[in-house]
Homo-oligomer: A and B are copies of this chain.
Amino acid sequence: MKYGALPLTRLIEQFASLPGIGRKTAQRLAFYILTLTKEQAQEFAGAILDAREKIKYCSVCRNYTDQELCEICGDPVRDKSTVCVVEDAKDVAAFERTREYRGLYHVLGGLISPMDGIGPDQLFIKELLQRVQEGTVQEVIMATNPTVEGEATAMYLGRLLKPFGVKVTRLAYGIPVGSDLEYADEVTLFKALENRSEL
């Protein structure tokens, strides 16, 4: 695709380098940028630089923050005895949307995946063990995805944490609310049956 105008081609290429953004969408977004006022374009560019420069890991839970502690770890009202272990910061956002969980989090920064060459050392596991060692944590909830890697990571962490005498739990398996039984896979349905509760 030729545009003559190098700055436009460059912008399209930048958008196309984003995950999940194809050539056509990148073109549409770049053309949209051209319709912005100069101030709006500066705000957009500034937001990119600002986020990249100011956002770092929370020193406790490894969630993203622009402070020393993230807002959740720094909140005196949150229950410091419960830690929910998640794969990445997006999962923290998902749990926060439920508005039900009042404990803290620990972001692993990935899952153990020998296929992709990711071992325990590349994740924030040492930091989790250190938090548990400090003594305030009583329960660690394994909230990794219900995939092979998620399960393996949860199992691995469970074994590491048991010696510290903390309670280690795992998210419940079952049928998703609002779903159709007809489309539930066998394993999920079996788990839902096995873990049935009294009405």
Contact = CB atoms under 8 A, between A and B. Distances in A.
Contacts of A93: 1-3, 27
Band of interface residues on A: 35 or more
B3 A64 contact: yes
Contact of A31 (B29, B43, B53, B89): B89
28 contacts: A1-B97, A2-B96, A3-B64, A4-B63, A5-B66, A6-B66, A7-B47, A7-B50, A7-B53, A7-B55, A7-B66, A8-B51, A8-B55, A8-B64, A8-B66, A10-B51, A11-B47, A20-B25, A31-B88, A31-B90, A33-B51, A33-B52, A34-B52, A34-B55, A38-B52, A41-B49, A41-B52, A41-B53
Interface string A1-40: 1111111101101100011110001011111111010100
